[in-house]
Chains A and B, each alone.
Chain A
Amino acid sequence: MKANTHLESQTKNIWSQSRLKIKGYAGKYGILIGFIAICIFLSFASPVFLTSANLINILKQVSIIGIVSMGMTMIIISGGIDLSVGSILALTSVVVAVCAQNSIPLILCILIAIAVGGLAGMINGYVTAKGAISPFIVTLGMMTVARGIALIISNGMPVSGLPETFFTLGSTVFLGLPLPVYIFFLMIFVTTILLKKTRFGRHLYAIGGNEQAALVSGINITKVKVWVYVIGGLLTGLAGVVLAARVGAGQPNAAVGYELDAIAAVVIGGVSFSGGIGHPLGALLGTLIIGVINNGLDLMNVPTYYQQIIKGLIIVAAVLLDKNRAK
């Protein structure tokens, strides 16, 4: 009898362990399978899809939203949300352009723009954490405020006439890839290290997973929350610089609706909306899925109205595939 139960408990362990493993793999790779499926379909549907020129295009095109979605990943993991990224993106693109126009050294322009992003993030974080107001409302407010400031400093006009050096930022190619792609990759790396390898990252997950437990465990919640919005703002500021360099102007009306693209990318990538769960590489996959769909629809010249429907359906289908495999 006793030996019997021992054996039983052992089989129970092995069983539950392997089940755990399968679940882990599927959870991690389900969305990857979805991504590959979309790519396989597109490589049949368009002969140019798999050409290196096109793949580089895709990376180039997703780098801006990708950098933003890294910040969004951290914010959503902490249980928050940031609706102001689109506006901050426009604001910082205007700031960097205005600075460059006034012949401030390029590197300083970039730093100022990134700092403006960080400042906006700090306000978001401070009001959210200290005022105990829902980040949805706080960042919604910031969304309008930042857009308004962008319009004021640009007089509602695109800021152009930038120095040539500025364009090199967007167009320099190194080992076949343009600079913005490297910046994007670097930010993925930085985000992964921050989330997975630092105390800050661990605290972020804990706050998103169970704020009360994190509080009782002695974590300084206010500090962590303020910082995550600051980092999100800095990344958005950086993305604003890349945007300005890419289009060669600072535009107060740019990036409308980017917050939704970034949120969609992050959630497709398996980051839980309720916080506490997620990986930046998942968000990368989410970003790539959106980028690949946009690219593929253009390659196939799908009529404009249908594009919107197809995009929405593919996004939901990709997540559905992920969920089913994770079960």
Chain B
Amino acid sequence: MTGQNILQMQNIHKAFGGVIALDNVSFNVKKGSVHALMGENGAGKSTLMKILLGINKPDQGTICIDNKEVTWDKPSDALAAGISMIHQELNPVPHLSIAENIFLGREPINKRTGFIDYKRMNEETSHLLKELDLQVAPTELVANLSVAKIQLIEIAKAISYQAQIVVMDEPTSAISNKEVDKLFQIIQKLKTNGVTVIYISHKMEEVFSICDDVTVLRDGSFIGTESIREINMNQLVSMMVGRKIEDVFPQVTHNTGEVILKANNLESKGLFQNISFQLKKGEILGFAGLMGAGRTEIMEAIFGLRKLDKGELIYKGKKVIFKHPQDAVKNKIILVPEDRKNSGLVLNHSIRQNISLTTIGNYTQKGLIKAKKERSVVERIIEKLRIKVSNMEQSASSLSGGNQQKVVLAKCLLSDPEIIILDEPTRGIDIKAKSEIYKIINELAQQGKGIIMISSEMPEILGLSDRILVLHQGQITGELLKKDATQEKILQLAMGRNVS
């Protein structure tokens, strides 16, 4: 069934106001295959997909579907030709039902009454859901569904357009491992039905387990298309970044000092219990576990965002309770939250305002902000963290994910913290930016800061942590030292099994 190319994008060239986004890129996809599209952020993946979907028009180059050349005037042309996309950031209407969401904008109308034909709509939806083995009623409100289910609903929606080609942009960025398995089953099923999937992801393991081919872009240029069976992870990474994987995780040893934070039997009903651990100065303490294991909630409770039902916290030898985040920050404990956009940044404010937010009081004289002092401090930290900005007055929303994360880090570091809690510090950012953030984290540890890092990415947790705590359903199931830790052991513990 595979073999013949369903999609051929040839010599695509696209520039935005003089900035070349795509330079002579070719992208061929075999019918019925799962084709990974990889590259760092800004490599041109999304521009290429926007051209495929008719959102942007190419300056040069041709698109052929089934060997027939096509041109799109508008996005609905591409949709009509059977190309649909599941965006990374899902935007369903929460208070409509599943069926209403799937048929949004093309609701079947009962010819006699002129009203929406709910019966038909729900029937067709339930047929679609059955196809995806989804055990939900078509009339269920989307607001009641998990992120993973919503993702699957989006897939159902894509299929309902009789799609031949489905583009999935980072589909697993917000769902748990179990749900990833489910997603993969569905992708397999789509494949057997002859649907072609273009799979955009940063996650190596996923690409190697589900994809047939991979195309790599870098800086708007085509680097190569390879069959997955004929390439290994290291080769793929060097195609993407132009250098070797060893550089990503610098091997550093940390000199750990005295215990700075001690947690005794922390508990929050229904979320976590019996959480005890110690953090030393200069140590990176990894928290591993599946999604929903309670890691974020523990950190929120320590930081004062959540109420603790039981347990005590001993910080620098003294018992402390943080009722509000401001108490924690005052005591030089900071949190870099998981959700950059919603909790880390004020997106429409400038980089300067974001970076100086926590410490603005330090740049005032007689209560008035000294703009010069603020700028020079911000400038220094931008330089130190190598944040790529043209101007510190640029809005935070204009930055790439990696640079946004660095802005959040910069803000936190200016407050000169002693403990830094990082929650998924590199989620959704590309490898190059990741390696830079890892470097920063290592430097911080070397300066003697205590670092707690929650991460769901195995290479990251294995590569950075001095010690790893693994959680399962709100309990610590094991502690591994760096030298003993392996991916398998962590997984076993994360699933609640004992490791011998």
Contacts and interface: CB of A to CB of B under 8 A. Distances in A.
Interface stretch (A115-123, A165-173, A214-222, A295-303): A214-222
A206 B326 contact: no
A276 interface: yes
B411 interface: yes
Given A193-B368, A206-B357, A218-B325, A15 B345 contact: no
A216 B417 CA distance: 14
Contacts of B20: 8
A220 B326 contact: yes
Interface stretch (B3-11, B106-114, B224-232, B358-366): B358-366
B139 interface: no
B391 interface: yes
A144 interface: no
A304 B329 CA distance: 58
Given A202-B369, A213-B343, A217-B329, 4 more contacts: A12-B19, A13-B390, A203-B357, A213-B346
Nearest to A12: B19
Nearest to B19: A12
A16 to B, nearest CB: 6
A202 B17 contact: no
Nearest to B336: A216
Question: Chain A interface secondary structure, helix, strand, loop or mixed?
Answer: helix
Contact of B324 (A15, A205, A220): A220
A210 B342 contact: yes
A327 interface: no
Contacts of A8: 18-20
Given A13-B390, A205-B349, A218-B325, A213 B342 contact: yes
B339 to A, nearest CB: 8
A94 interface: no
A215 B325 CA distance: 7
Interface string A179-204: 00000000000000100111100110
A16 B389 CA distance: 11
B390 A17 contact: yes
A218 B415 contact: yes
Contacts of A193: 368
A15 B329 CA distance: 39
A17 B305 contact: no
B391 A206 contact: no
A20 B305 contact: no
A215 B305 CA distance: 9
Q: Which residue, A202, A210, A213, A215, has most C-beta atoms of chain B within 10 A?
A: A213
A220 B326 CA distance: 6
A199 B374 CA distance: 12
B353 interface: yes
Interface residues of B, number: 41
A206 B345 CA distance: 9
A218 B328 contact: yes
A209 B349 contact: yes
A15 B18 contact: yes
Contacts of B393: 20
Contacts of B391: 17, 20
Given A214-B357, A219-B326, A11 B342 contact: no
Contact of A218 (B347, B358, B390, B398): B358
B185 interface: no
A277 interface: yes
A216 B325 CA distance: 6
Given A197-B368, A198-B369, A216 B343 contact: yes
A32 B349 CA distance: 22
B361 A199 contact: yes
Contact of B360 (A16, A199, A215): A199
Given A12-B18, A12-B19, A212 B368 contact: no
A205 B360 contact: no
Contact of B347 (A16, A197, A210, A215): A210
